[in-house]
Amino acid sequence: MDDERLTTSESASEIERECFRARVFQRLRETERNHFTVSYLVNSCGLSRKSALLASNKVHFQNPDRPESVLSLLKENGFDNTQITKLIRSRPTLLLADPENTLLPKIEFFPILTLSPDLLRRSLTNHLIPCYDFLKSVLLENEKVITTIELGAPQSAISHLVTHFPSMAFVTHAKFVKAVQEVKELGFDPSKALFVQAIQAVLKLKKPMWESKFEIFRRWGWSEADTLLAFKKHPICMLLSEEKITKAMKFLKRIFPRCSVVQILLAKDLVKNDLSLATFLLPTEKWFLEKYVIRFQDNVPQLLSVYQNKMELQDVEIQSEKVGETELL
């Protein structure tokens, strides 16, 4: 009986040792495979070591055969090193895709992929072919579409939109037409580049988000007309995050009073005309007050009021034509 127990115990221990050795061996293989993957991503795909380590969590390979085939196919079809690096960083599993049966048909069917490599990860049937149908209706039959819906946007403008903002090609035609009409009603010229930037903003922002952007600017004292004017000059401003808008507004709130003060001093020949923006925009509040406000208060008693936004620049008694000559913003 004791011998049987001893034999059973020894067998269990042997099994445990074998399992332990198998786990160690497996980890060694995984470490070796991971090291090769990371090394390949760095040396052949241009990723940083940090990006390669992150990518190695999603893709593993022990030899370069398949990845090399993928990279060769991309390069042969017009993808440059920067595009390849960006593509592999965002979708490393593409290195294991079938070059001939999966990737090449997409590239041959949709050559615009070289302009937007991210689209390469899209399904040919579910995404790229519908996108092509949309592009064909917009570009190849552009005059017919324009006549029908009376958009007035030339082919070059819409081509610019779908080429530089290809994700817009996946919206429905009805939604695209509605966005174009809204942008036209806002007064954008269809023949200008700002027209397509405005379409991009309108398509990306849903109504609640659009209204929230107006609310952000409203908190900084802007009227709806002010915000629309900013949108007409720089449509992409509506796509900025609240954090970026807030930082920009804080900066503007800080520099406008300073520019008004310096504008007055320039008009009165109290400072040199070759004064650089950095000279009065970068220093601390205390330094600016002492250097440009307190120092010249005897010459211009209204300086402090202008600086504190208690008086408009136009109310200061200086020659109006000289103010125009010294306009800073």
Interval 173-181 mean pLDDT: 78
The more confident residue out of 140 and 281 is 281
C-beta atoms surrounding 179 within 10 Å: 19
pLDDT higher than threshold 70 for residue 52: yes
| Nearest one of 69, 90, 81 to 45, comparing CA atoms | 81
pLDDT higher than threshold 70 for residue 161: no
pLDDT higher than threshold 70 for residue 33: no
Q: Residue 212 has what pLDDT?
A: 93
Interval 289-297 mean pLDDT: 89
pLDDT higher than threshold 70 for residue 223: yes
Query: From the centroid of its chain, how far is CA 5?
Result: 69
Triad 245, 251, 255: Cα angle to 5°? 145
User: What are the distances in angstroms from CA 117 to CA 50, 89, 112, 163?
Assistant: 22, 12, 9, 12
The more confident residue out of 203 and 141 is 203
> What percent of the chain stands above pLDDT 90?
13
What spatial distance separates the first Cα and last Cα of the chain, rounded to whole Å?
98
Rounded to whole angstroms, the Cα distance separating 316 from 296 reads: 14
Eight-state DSSP code of residue 120: G
Radius of gyration of the chain (CA): 32
Q: Residue 148 has what pLDDT?
A: 30
pLDDT higher than threshold 60 for residue 327: no
pLDDT higher than threshold 60 for residue 242: yes
Structure tokens at 133: 């149908």
| 105 confidence band (pLDDT: 50, 70, 90) | confident
pLDDT higher than threshold 60 for residue 35: yes
Contact between 217 and 245 (Cβ < 8 Å)? yes
111-140 pLDDT, tens digit each: 655 545 666 777 778 766 765 565 555 544
pLDDT higher than threshold 90 for residue 71: yes
80-97 pLDDT, tens digit each: 888 889 888 888 988 988
Q: Residue 4 has what pLDDT?
A: 52
Q: Residue 233 has what pLDDT?
A: 92
Eight-state DSSP code of residue 136: I
Q: Residue 173 has what pLDDT?
A: 67
301-311 pLDDT, tens digit each: 888 888 887 67
- Burial class for 119, CB neighbours closer than 10 Å (0-12, 13-18, 19+): buried
| DSSP state letters, 248-297 | HHHHHHHHHHHHHHHHHHHHTT-S-TT--HHHHHSS-HHHHIIIIIGGGT
The more confident residue out of 253 and 29 is 253
User: What are the distances in angstroms from CA 201 to CA 1, 176, 180, 182, 197?
Assistant: 83, 12, 11, 11, 6
Q: Residue 83 has what pLDDT?
A: 86
Contact between 252 and 302 (Cβ < 8 Å)? no
pLDDT higher than threshold 80 for residue 263: yes
Interval 185-203 mean pLDDT: 83
228-237 pLDDT, tens digit each: 999 999 998 9
71: CB partners within 8 A, 6+ apart: 44, 45, 84, 95
pLDDT, averaged across the chain: 76
Lowest mean pLDDT among 25-34, 162-171, 179-188: 25-34
Q: Residue 146 has what pLDDT?
A: 36
